Homo-oligomer: A and B are copies of this chain.
């Protein structure tokens, strides 16, 4: 193969890759809006906005499908080298993560109607919205880190997911306490707990995107084995001390 031909193929691949990366950023932007609007609709009980999030998820799903097709097309057509292949595969994984965050946002938005009919739990939706806001900013930074192959920023995102996990654990305790105080709070708190868990899972998907960035930037996964803990699953004191109250 002549050098000229190689060069031509390489730049065609670069163009393809730029196209894919532009798509993933556009998709990321839609998902940021979905998180934001879902959390806002919950706090303000805005059923119209919630409806927009639900409808808007179709566009996100369609982008995921288009991205996968495009990535497969590029792999088949360009037969990229190991490093380039890694970039394309990482985009496919990121797309899957974004699609799942979109689904989780849709689930959040769907609870707006239910929550609007229930006993209000003081301050809870504000706390949930703050948690969602953190996840939204984490996603924004993870995507920025991706574009700049910025390992430090990606590690910062990983770090912040621990705070989100912590917020979730705190809320879990709070909801349990509310339920124990007054059984009329049980149904509301079950729904609020669902919501908190949903947001916590969004954080996990953002984490997975940030891990891809670290991998792309450094060629290895984040040093520290991330101790991903839903503490409610393994900390007996969390439940027993509440039970003894």
- The answer to whether the Cβ of A194 comes within 8 Å of any Cβ in the partner chain is yes
- Measured CB to CB, the nearest residue on chain B to A54 is B234
- The answer to whether the Cβ of A152 comes within 8 Å of any Cβ in the partner chain is no
- The answer to whether the Cβ of A147 comes within 8 Å of any Cβ in the partner chain is no
**Interface pair B194/A186, CB less than 8 Å apart:** no
Quick one: CB contact mask for A104-137 with B, threshold 8 Å, 1 for yes? 0001001101100111000000000000000000
Question: Do A234 and B110 form a contact, CB below 8 Å, given A86-B72, A187-B243, A191-B239?
Answer: yes
Query: Considering the chains assembled together, what is the distance between the CA atoms of A92 and B89 in angstroms?
Result: 10
Kindly specify which of A23-31, A75-83, A159-167 makes contact with the partner chain.
Answer: A75-83
| Complex interface residues of chain A between 82 and 100 (CB less than 8 A to chain B) | 82, 85-86, 89, 92-93, 96
Quick one: CB contact mask for A178-207 with B, threshold 8 Å, 1 for yes? 011001101100110110010000000000
Question: Do A89 and B72 form a contact, CB below 8 Å, given A110-B234, A118-B243?
Answer: yes
- Measured CB to CB, the nearest residue on chain B to A186 is B179
- Measured CB to CB, the nearest residue on chain B to A83 is B76
Query: Considering the chains assembled together, what is the distance between the CA atoms of A93 and B89 in angstroms?
Result: 11
- Please give the distance in Å from A111's CB to the nearest CB on chain B: 5
Interface size class on chain A is: 35 or more
A96 contacts across to B, CB distance below 8 A: 93, 96
Query: Considering the chains assembled together, what is the distance between the CA atoms of A157 and B120 in angstroms?
Result: 40
- The answer to whether the Cβ of A55 comes within 8 Å of any Cβ in the partner chain is no
- Please give the distance in Å from A101's CB to the nearest CB on chain B: 15
**Interface pair B183/A233, CB less than 8 Å apart:** no
Query: Considering the chains assembled together, what is the distance between the CA atoms of A3 and B129 in angstroms?
Result: 63
Return 10 A-B CB contacts under 8 Å, by A number. Answer: A68-B89, A72-B89, A76-B79, A76-B80, A111-B234, A114-B233, A114-B236, A176-B190, A180-B183, A187-B243
Would you list the 5 A-B pairs with minimal beta carbon distance, nearest first? Answer: A79-B79, A110-B233, A187-B239, A187-B243, A110-B234
Given contacts A117-B236, A176-B187, A179-B186, 18 further A-B contacts (CB under 8 A): A75-B75, A76-B81, A79-B79, A93-B96, A96-B96, A107-B233, A110-B233, A111-B233, A114-B233, A117-B239, A117-B240, A118-B239, A119-B243, A183-B183, A184-B243, A191-B239, A194-B232, A197-B197
